[in-house]
Amino acid sequence: MQQELTRLQVAAPGTASVDIDDADLPVGFVQTEGTDPTDVTVTAGATTTEEDNGFNVQAR
């Protein structure tokens, strides 16, 4: 599966919420790493990253 990175170009300083749209994931995928949604602290003039999130097909 191809990894997709989403970038937000400009955010106001403060707290921002990162929420993965689960409806866009393939059927059967479940979150295996990270938390969703996640709050991050945005600092003026800095690059802010969100934690790693992993999704995988659930075993049958």
Q: What does the pLDDT look like over 1-43, one tens digit per residue?
A: 555 556 666 678 999 888 888 888 888 888 899 999 999 999 9
Q: Could you give the count of Cα atoms lying within 13 Å of 25 in the half-sphere of its Cβ?
A: 15
pLDDT in the model for residue 41: 92
Q: Is the pLDDT of residue 51 over 60?
A: yes
| 44-to-7, 10, 40 alpha-carbon distances in Å | 16, 10, 13
pLDDT in the model for residue 14: 93
Paired strand residues for 41: 15
Residues 6+ apart with CB under 8 A from 29: 55, 56, 57, 58
Positive or negative: CA dihedral 19, 21, 22, 25:
negative
pLDDT in the model for residue 2: 52
